[in-house]
Structure 1
Amino acid sequence: MIRDDALEALPVRAALPALNHALADDGAAVLVAPPGTGKTTLVPLVLAGLVGGGPARRVLVAEPRRIAARAAARRMAWLLGQDVGEDIGFTVRGERVVGRRARVEVVTTGVLLQRLQRDQELPGVDVVVLDECHERHLDADTAAAFLLDVRGTLRPELRLLAASATTDAQGWARLLGGAPVVEAEGVSHPVEVVWAPPARPVRPPHGMRVDPALLAHTASVVRRALAERPGDVLCFLPGLGEIARVAGLLGDLGAVDVLQVHGRAPAAVQDAVLSPGARRRVVLATSVAESSLTVPGVRVVVDAGLAREPRVDHARGLSGLTTVRSSRAAGRQRAGRAGREAPGVVYRCWAEAEDVRLPPFPAPEIKVADLTAFALQAACWGDPEASGLALLDPPPGGAMAAARQVLTAVGAVDPRGRATRRGTRLVRGGLHPRLGRALLDTSGAAAEVVALLSEEVPRSYGDDLSAALRTARRGGDAYAARWRAEVRRLRAVAAERGGRNGTGGVPEDDGARGDGLVGRAVALAFPERVARLEGGSYLMASGTRAELGEGSALRGTPWIVVAVADRPAGSGHARVRLAAPVEEDVAREAAAALRTEEEEVRWAEGDVLAQRVERLGAIGLTVRPLKDPPPGLVREALLEGLRREGLGLLRWSPEAVALRQRLAFLRLRRGEPWPDVSDGALHAHVAQWLEPELGRARRRADLARIDAGQALARLLPWASGEAARLDELAPERITVPSGSRIRVDYGDPERPVLAVKLQEMFGLDSSPVLAGVPVLVHLLSPAGRPAAVTADLASFWREGYRAVRAELRGRYPRHPWPEDPAAAEPTRHTKARPRR
């Protein structure tokens, strides 16, 4: 019997006429309705004609989570006074309860994608409802894009409704081709906000890790809420592990029931949460309770302020869920759960000042998640670049390129990005491409291992996947039960697809060869994560180093393959969460696409290193000397040596050093066509001055034999004829009045220096000039020690000479010290030896 009283109480009823009108006129609409208004339960019943007297239609409702799909189906069946499997059914991965006359079927978005890939027309379906669009799950965005494609090309009569508690309504309306937006008012009560930050700072979340101090604080806030406020308490935590930990801290609440709600909770627990209890309850839940589930009796919300979102660490080739601060939108959504039935209160486990720094909305998965499965969906849909899909946010180019590399490696797409037969089999079987490869390439024998990899393994199972498999086989916990159901499903998928060899038979997993099979399966799924022990840590084929935890049973294993890893805060290495031992030959086979053998010629340890290297990705397998390396590679190695260690590797005679300094002086004073001889310029134009000597060199010793001065001479401006003026503009030596030829020091390109004995400059009334620059003259005593420095010799004779003469003539009486040096005879000798 239909429960009319419950149906009448649902606030969305007031919006039904506008919604029916919008769908009739436009075929598509956006419904915005707060949680608890009946958008998930009443609207599909009305669209199917099961209540309200409308025409009979078949309605498909897509939910982002399995728990929400089951709960919605049960609630709709209860409203009709039926059991699930009559007019209402549901299908989730591994479970299908749908009767022959079902008019409403609730599915997960993943199941919807599989159906669209099998038959794009969705025969027999009249209306598709995409629920909880605001969560921006990747499967939901993809399904919406595919459905819009179907409406535009194959089924213009297919009606499409995007429904959400809070969403970018106008964005979805534009995406649906200008569809009308219908808003339903909810019944909400005031919710008081209590800021309850920890007394001491806690470490921010990183990877999957949450500071235990925050969880202990959250448990204490739950106890405080129970003492201060009436009604049931709904506490939001990021994941299963945190829920279990807080439940343990609340184990002595006495007359209060503690229930744990998450995507893997048993059906009995889900039913208990969705029905009012005789005793007071504390419901510990993930974000599934934000909008997908309505928990009756809640008057208090405790929000730990965290959420789990997918992330990809492209630098390390790791992907998975990570713990982040929840958005302000999620905070509003969670708080609203306390005001569904009466005035309520939300305790927020952070300071009010922090709230404004939180992100306004959760990040769309398409921007942050691993896009491998999405890229395969697009390829099987016929749009490998996803450029023709109607998406609110385009996929990032880098993430799509990385996804295509994975798909190519597992054989799911061809070099042009088009789906192969294997890719089509993977996507229709609802398998992630990586896990699908492991299942198909073992002819289904690895179903048990793939089932383990399909869902987060409890940490209590340890980090050794082989041991975790044995624990699951003998386990009696809820995880083991779900695992066994998934194993059955995977064996059925493999049998349906005929295994790798098309035999149709799928063997049971062989426990006797379990460890070897585990390693092989993981290596097939994650070939870039095969890793070899090197220097206390493991080097993965991807180039990332990973470390095992203290006490790991895998320590010392020569080869492992990493199934799950994260990156600890402040560490450059990944931390292994789950791995399996693997034999080297299996690692080589699974990662064969990453194997390379190349001639490696490089500068290392101060000389040219030439060798033939076989690698598995970044892992070096074998190294053999290379007797006759290609000259081009040798040349590049020598250039690298010159860049690293400098041009001092060449032979720099005093004449070569002087030539470089003279050229640097002319470049500074005259510019073109005089060459730039700085280190950077010489490295940049090495072909102009160091060939052919460099082409004949093979090792460091050969560089040391190259005459740098002879090579530099090639840079002189011969073509313009200016090179002939080198000795005029920047002579190596200058003839002074005594007749001596004195070397000019060009070490400072700003001003050349001439160091000469003072008596040899008598009779010269002005300083020498080179390229328009007066030379800086260092006047030396007869013993060769500096006596004076001047760039204006005439001024020195007039003003400075007298003091120098007074100081030195008593010390050197045998040398001439005339009164008028500008008119005196220059000499290299003492008074006793006249000038010749």
Structure 2
Amino acid sequence: MTRAAFDLARIGDGLSFADALDELATALDSSTSAIVSAPPGTGKTTLVPPLLASRTSGRIIVTQPRRVAARAAAPRLAQLDGSPVGHRVGFTVRGERSVSPQTRVEFVTAGVLLRRLLSDPGLDGVDAVIIDEVHERALETDLLIGLLGEVRQLRDDLVLIAMSATLDADALATVIGTEADPAPIVDHTVPAFPLTERWAPSTQPRLDERGVTWAFLDHVARVTASAAQDLHHDDPAADVLVFAPGAREVSEIARRVRDAAGGFDVRELHGQIPPAGQDAVIRGRRADDPPRIIVTTSLAESSLTVPGVRLVVDSCLSRHPQRDASRGMTGLVTTSTPRSSAIQRAGRATRQGAGTVIRCVDERTYAAAPARPTPEVATTDLADAALLLACWGAPGGAGLRLIDPLPADSLTDALEVLRSIGAIDDDGRATPEGRALARIPTDPRLARALVDGAPLVGSRLAAEVVALIGGDLRVGDADVAAAVAGLRNRRGPDASRWAREVDRMLRFTPDQTRTRTSLDDVGLVIALAFPERIARRVDRSADGATFLLASGTRAAVRGSLTGAEWLAVADVARASGRAAAGSGAVIRAAAAITESQAARAGDHLLADRVEAEFVGGRVTARRERRLGAIVLSSAPTRATSEEGRGAVRRALLAQGLDVFTWSDAAVDLHRRLALLHRELGAPWPDVSDAALLADLDGWLAPEIDALASGTPAGRLDLASALRRLLPWPAAAGFDKLAPERLEVPSGSRVRITYPPVDDPGARPVVAVKLQECFGWAETPRLASGRVPVLFHLLSPAGHPLAVTDDLASFWSGPYAEVRAEMRGRYPKHPWPEDPWQAAPTRHTKNRAARLWHPDGV
């Protein structure tokens, strides 16, 4: 390996970060880690690697979150070094490698280094690792920080540097270092050139249920074309950079700008265009070339620098992966760009002088955007990450110093996926099969489909399907089989990249034949990867078809696949409106399969079982054969006692005790028990709905058995069931503590109305005719004297006259007013002037007199 030092003076000529090299070198004299914070375009990615190479004899690894950035950084440094790419400076990305034994600086994607760590945990021959663009919080970058922390515990000579344009440097310094000894921070700032902010909001919505609207793309293109013409008039040497959320929008905006703005070289820049096209944009243009309008995705925010830009047009939209836990799916969603990212986008216009940013939103919308991006670990599927950690020996990230822990719910789902494909054991450790899958550079489910599908459909077709799904390629009309056919015929800009990826996938199959097999088996390969997404059509209309996935999710599809009875779904995303046909999700990539193929791929999801339900007060049952949530056949049957009990319990837990018709006696007993529990506590039981549902076996077991055997719910006596809750021997005093009736002075036994269970502030009520209570001074109290009865004193016709819980006060005061008003209305009934001395009665004056006369006349 050559030991010739890089010429830092020549490489750093014109780069502002050259002024910070001494500070970084001083920091590394006393530490093997450091944090570098510097704005985009200052030269940190170009200068830090050769600085480290000049201090060590081994290789320097530099990670980038994107392939485009890794491929761009290596030629840039090699050019400044005066050496060919692949000699002293090289790169490795998925499907492409340019290095040699003499390579001192190697640019790689974070994913490449992660898999390299699995085969070489000690990073033999590597003296330093630089993790660039940490602020983007890509999942693979976060994992690298954790794994390299463990490597450095064994290799105290390994230098680790984290670099970013904007980051929480202090927090990261304690992760890379320790809280007691944080990594030193090198914060390089440069004077900013003036930036002019302009606002150009659209009158039409930016987003609808299908994503970015055509009207908004038209708006961005018009704003770009007009602003570019004005800029070219003032500064013919300046270029324009336009930010769009994804590759589709990049292409649509670029096409519209070409139609609207003549005399410009309109270029696209995103991860799906061929490497040669990417290189041509990043190199810049010659003086005699026409001015450029570059339409790009977020990769140009900070990962790479596009020279010559003086105007930025920002759609203020970004696309990122989002996991939908309720439907078990992960897809790309489009949202407002975080303000920190928008600031970086705008900064691309002021790298070389004063610049302008035009944001295609109003200031209020911009201010309402999130301040920073959400870390990818919090939003994306974790199956690949969980397998890598299991192979590393840290299941779930246990023991690693991560910036953020893996979310528990997402991790649980990921581990369940890995167990289902045999990649991990019950303890979360990687199995031999899992380690083999981890060596295949794709999602573990696709790796399993490649390995299992090759013997069934041929290695070539399995590799073609996996390369398409895993390669983030476009699938027109959602039809994967049609997309494979087009790529085979070299149609579309993705064909060459796909062909290279197919050849790479073939290297991981035992039979590397290139024979092309029938496209009829495309769906089988997809189903092997995602058996829970096997789907059956449940509805079809002019707008498309709705399918039920084995996972239980409903999703809509339009186009040629609407006629299929069965689908294997590769990509499904949350959606609304017409595109989702009311299902809540839309199928974005799938292929038709047969029912036999579905059963083969989803054999572990097949079940023959009895589904019992408690509906309308009765247990009914059907014998069903299912593939996950998909019913293959169904016929009526008689439920066993166990199945019936299960159905009743499920209904009770789902609908509550209102599935029963409560008799007056049951309601009364329920309320009496609730009063004693509330006022006296133990041993009187809690009879709230929640408590009763939690202890069904303690009071309702015989009734559940009766329902399971076919007894209708209306024939059950819940009062008898509730009496099982009476605590013995305290139950002997139940009727005294909470009597069913109260004897009043007239001799009548009047029912006590107890308050509802869910109304603790209410009181027991006795509604009785006023005349029956004459002379009663002491208000009765229940529950060992704790609760006074509330009297509703009634007229002879049963209408309320007064409400009181203090009879003595009533006779001494308000009674006189009541007497004055009522004696003329009810003259046949006694209204004595002195209620204390009057005989209580429930009869009229004449009848009462006859009853009291000794001869009865």
- Normalised to the residue count of structure 2, the TM-score between the two structures is 0.83
Distance 1:804 1:220, change over 3 A: closer
Offset of 1:243 from its aligned partner?
A: 0.7
Number of the residue aligned with 1:15: 20
The equivalences for 1:283-298 within 5 A come to: 283-298=294-309
Deviation at 1:312, TM superposition (A): 0.9
* Residues 264-273 or 640-649, more deviating: 640-649
Residue 191 and residue 212 in structure 1: after superposition, are their counterparts in 2 closer, same or farther (change >3 A)? farther
Taking a change above 3 Å as real, the CA distance of residues 251 and 802 of structure 1, as seen in their structure-2 partners, is: closer
Alignment of 1:679-718 (within 5 A): 690=700, 692-698=702-708, 701-711=711-721
The answer as to whether partners of 2:766 and 2:791 remain within 8 angstroms in 1 is yes
Say yes or no: does 1:448 pair with 2:464: yes
Which one of 474, 477, 484 corresponds to residue 469 of structure 1?
484
CA displacement 1:502-540 (0-9 Å, x = unmatched): xxx23436432x12x211111111122112222452221
Moved more, 30-39 or 212-221: 30-39
Matched, 1:280 2:291: yes
In 2, distance between residues paired with 1:825 and 1:351?
81
Q: Which amino acid aligns with 2:463?
A: A
Quick check: 2:746–2:840 contact (8 Å CA) kept in 1? no
> 1:202 is matched with which residue: 195, 201, 205?
205
% same residue: 38
Contact 2:242 2:293 in 1 (8 A): yes
| Residue type at the aligned position of 1:137 | A
Q: CA 1:11 to 1:605, structure 2 compared with 1: closer, same or farther past 3 Å?
A: same
- Structure 1 pair 70–671 and aligned structure 2 pair: CA distance change class (3 A): closer
Per-residue Cα deviation, 1:262-297 (whole angstroms, up to 9, x for no partner):
112223322321232321111111122122222222
Deviations 1:235-260 (A, max 9, x none): 11111111111111112322110011
- Unpaired stretches in structure 2, ≥5 consecutive residues: 1-5, 541-545, 756-762, 782-787
8 Å contact from structure 2 (residues 274, 497) kept in 1:
no
**Offset of residue 599 of structure 1:** 4.9
Query: What is the one-letter code of the residue matched to 1:16?
Result: L
Cα 1:374–1:752 change in 2 (3 A) is same
Corresponding residue for residue 419 of structure 1: 430
Which residue is equivalent to 2:525?
A: 521
The match for 1:356 is 367
- Report what 2:196 is aligned to: 193
Indicate conservation of the 8 Å contact 1:189/1:341, yes or no.
no
Question: Could you say which residue in structure 2 is the equivalent of 1:530?
Answer: 534
Looking at structure 2, the residues matched to 770 and 419 of structure 1 have their Cα atoms a distance apart, in angstroms, of 73
CA distance in 2, matches of 1:800, 1:397: 69
SS at match of 1:12: helix
| Structure-2 separation of matches of 1:416 and 1:165 | 40
Q: CA deviation at 1:41?
A: 2.6
Is the deviation greater in 382-391 or in 83-92?
A: 83-92
Tell me which moved more, 341-350 or 96-105.
Answer: 96-105
1:213 equivalenced with 2:215 (yes/no): yes
**1:489 shift after superposition:** 0.8
Matched, 1:397 2:408: yes
- Separation in 2, partners of 1:379, 1:406: 13
Cα displacement (A) at 1:722: 5.0
- Code of the residue aligned with 1:12 in structure 2: it is F
Aligned partner letter, 1:107:
V
- Residues 202 and 216, structure 2, Cα contact 8 Å, conserved in 1: no
Could you tell me which residue of structure 2 aligns to residue 162 of structure 1? 162
User: What is the alpha-carbon distance in structure 2 between the residues aligned to residue 280 and residue 234 of structure 1?
Assistant: 11
3-state DSSP class of the match of 1:451? helix
Are the equivalent residues in 2 in contact too, given 1:635–1:695 (CA < 8 A)?
A: no
Aligned partner of 2:242 among 230, 235, 238: 235
8 Å Cα contact 2:527/2:534 also seen in 1 = yes
Give the letter aligned to residue 139 of structure 1.
E
Name the counterpart of 2:68.
67
Post-superposition CA distance 1:22-55 (Å, at most 9, x none): 4454333333333333322343334334xxxx66
Residues of 1 paired with 2:162 and 2:840: CA distance? Answer: 106
Which position in structure 2 is the counterpart of 1:35? 40
Deviates more, 1:165-174 or 1:314-323: 165-174
Structure 1 residues 509 and 780: alpha-carbon distance in aligned structure 2, compared to 1, 3 A threshold: farther
Instruction: Give, in angstroms, the shift of residue 609 of structure 1.
Output: 2.8
Match of 2:92 in 1: 91
Work out the CA distance in 1 between the residues paired with 2:602 and 2:583: 24
Work out whether 1:560 is the aligned partner of 2:567: yes
CA 1:473 to 1:701, structure 2 compared with 1: closer, same or farther past 3 Å?
same
Residue of structure 1 aligned with 2:317, choices 284, 287, 306? 306
Change in Cα spacing, 1:777 to 1:563, as seen in structure 2 (3 Å) is same
Contact 1:126 1:159 in 2 (8 A): yes
CA distance in 1, matches of 2:370, 2:35: 25
Number of aligned residues: 800
- Specify the alignment match of 1:262 in structure 2: 270
Query: What are the residue-to-residue correspondences of 1:804-815 with 2, within 5 Å?
Result: 806=824
- 8 Å contact kept, 1:57–1:126: yes
Residues 750, 487 of structure 1: alpha-carbon distance in 2 compared, 3 angstrom cutoff: same
- The alignment partner of 1:41 has SS state of helix
Equivalent in the alignment of 2:796: 780
The C-alpha deviation readout for 1:768-821, integer Å capped at 9, x for no partner, is 96546485454537xxx8697798796799776677565566xx8xx9999999
SS in 2 for 1:222: helix
User: TM-score normalized by structure 1?
Assistant: 0.85
Asked if the contact 1:602/1:634 (under 8 Å) is kept, the reply is no
The amino acid across from 1:332 in the alignment is I
Question: What is the SS of the residue equivalent to 1:40?
Answer: helix
Shift of 1:338: 1.4
How far apart in 2 are the matches of 1:157 and 1:724? Answer: 79
Secondary structure of the residue that 1:518 maps to in structure 2?
helix
- CA deviations 1:75-109 (Å, max 9, x no partner) are 22222333323333222111122234333322222
The 1:542–1:736 alpha-carbon spacing in structure 2 relative to 1, beyond 3 Å, is same
Deviates more, 1:528-537 or 1:764-773: 764-773
**Partner SS for 1:380:** helix
Report the equivalent of 2:83: 82
- The answer to whether residue 373 in structure 2 is matched with residue 366 in structure 1 is no
Alignment RMSD, CA only? 3.9
- Unaligned residue ranges in structure 1 (runs of 5+): 499-504
